[in-house]
Structure 1
Amino acid sequence: MDALATRPDSRLAPRGAALPTWDPERDDTLVVRQVRQETADVRTFVLAPVDPARFAYEPGQFLTLDLDIDGQRVNRCYTLSSTPTRPDTVSITVKRVPGGRVSNFLHDHVAEGNLLHAVGPMGDFTCARHQAEKYLFLSGGSGITPVMSMARAHLDLSTRADIAFLHSARTPADIIFRAELELMARQEPRFRFAAICEQDAPLEPWHGLRGRLSLAHLEAVAPDFRAREVFVCGPAPYMAAVRDLLKAAGFDMARHHEESFDFATLAAAEPDVAAEVVADAAAPATGFRVEFRKSGRTIDCPSDMNVLEAARRAGVRLPSSCTKGLCGTCKSKLVEGTVEMKHGGGIRQREIDAGMVLICCARPTSDLVIDR
């Protein structure tokens, strides 16, 4: 992580021509323009290209940060809380998690002027691909970020969509973007916001909806929720509870959309592969040998199976998230051997040229040695 010297900001000058679109294939460097404290344990990091450029993405998509932490490369995904209608910057909103390697690094060491490296934006969780006249946005905790991006985009564009936004938090002090959401609700009559809190804050009793999300809460905020397009993001147990609730209420689940991988798990410390116990002693009899150099583990991997799946079956835990070749979390150095890889954008061509692979979508075509 580097620092960028203060210099005049040419973005404020009149523009004679349109700015280029930021392309991480050409330059993956972003400068931290601002750090905002949202709640006691949540911060927003506003990022911009070093040289003026604009971002093009769909609301709800994510960036993958490429970080150097204590001399080790770590990739982490963060959904963008910003909106593409304000294309000169993007922002990620990060909750500090006890023991979380990356979230604590960002909170403790990243400040205005620092340089970060990233790839993206990318992802399928976006209202841009499921447009409707009425939406219901449901979020829990820091899962608010992608639906906040969607809400900001709709209000900026004055789409006239009817939006009900229901957020679950521990206490009123933990409601991320509370002031902005309440302002949005006052300014736009088609936008309704409500929060559900489990308990009072130390200095603020809560007089709104209480407990955990229920059918009564849905009917109070959006009695016509069965006619809405629903977007859900939050911890895995929260999303599972929402699925069960909607199904029991007779909701058409074809109109239900949730973040397909749990960003909350990425905030935890990277697991120690060497400490894992083999869970499946019946390793495949055919295929190729895969050696994980750092852990000293060797597994068998069939030629028709990706390396990540074979590792999981052998009881080896490796950092991963989307399992679709999108997020870059499982990016690893291929020291020896060859693979067949069909990815979804989570790795750049120059990284492939340098011997990096995404093990979630890489199938061996020879014996492998991987630097994990």
Structure 2
Amino acid sequence: MFSLLSLSAWLPSLPSLEWGSNLLDSLLQGLVGAFGVSVLSSVLKVYFFVGCANAPQRQPEKERLRAQWAWLEPVHLVGLALILTVVGARVAALVVLEFSLRAVSTLLSLNKGPGNTEHLKLYLLCQYSLGCGLSCGLSFLQEGAPHRTLNLLLSLGLAALLGSSAQRLRRHVFCLYELHSSQNYCGVCLGLLAGAYRLPRLLGRSLAVAFAVGDLAAVALINRDFLSTSEAVRFWTPLTICYALLVIYMQEEQRHQRFSLQSQVQTVLVRMGGLFVLLLTVGRWLDLLGILVSLLGELWCLLGVHILLDLCQIQGHPPPYTPQNLHPNLSLTIWQMRHLGIMEAQLLFRANSISHQLDLIL
């Protein structure tokens, strides 16, 4: 019976064609990682926009979000996909492990107090690491699969569907959220009106799963290059020391520096510089090139969310949803908005609106 084979099985067994098939697989993995970053960026923009739209004193920040050029997003997506394609699985694995260790250290330090703003900062800064984690996970899970290319094409289709849906949601919210939330006839906007504060928690759980898979894949991808335990120990020992020093340095810098684009660029330079020096001793020349590409990728992702970095500093999180922030016809309480379902909330919206109109008539 005829069965679909991978792309390399359809072509003659030539070394150049095998190399081309591997390049195609790397490109597909990079595209999946770029779409994952696009989903995260779109959801974060929706979250910040809703917070600004519900606060009259934050209208300038809302207009800054709207003023972003739409054609820059596909350029950013394609550029990030190319960077993830050429960075290499080994360097991508190192980037994922470094960010995961830094994120765990930050989250443990948040137990002493409220850290919603710190969570948002992590979500903004993890974008390139998320792309590397998705790429590493696919590379590890699809390694040796007979239909590797077709599986990656299917993954790309699902990622593109999620990415386009997130972008449509962002465009819808940017254009129509204020109108729909005041007229009470759009379920999506009413849902964001009542439950946008849940988005960071949803993102946190999704990112935890993605980075857990990415970390396991990163460790496996790095260990496959070692022929003996002694080689692995010679690599992991200086790497662990380097990561520990980087985490300590980052925590000290966060306490003394203002969270801004300039400070994060300096942080990226220090992190990539530390990994570059480490790989000079225990890495390969190709890894050094991958570190330079990773530096470009980190800066590329920071430029894509530079407005959100500023908003995170001055906003932190959207203000509490109060009746004064909503349409004047609505008298729904915060408890009703947060604890009732969307259908019940919509019915209450309409009932209050009708009651207000009857009062005006009578």
**Pairwise TM-score range, normalised by the shorter structure:** under 0.3
With normalisation by structure 1, the TM-score equals 0.27
Which of structures 1 and 2 has the bigger CA Rg? 2
With normalisation by structure 2, the TM-score equals 0.27
Q: Larger relative CO (CA 8 A, sep 6+): 1 or 2?
A: 2
Larger relative helix fraction: 2
Larger relative strand fraction: 1
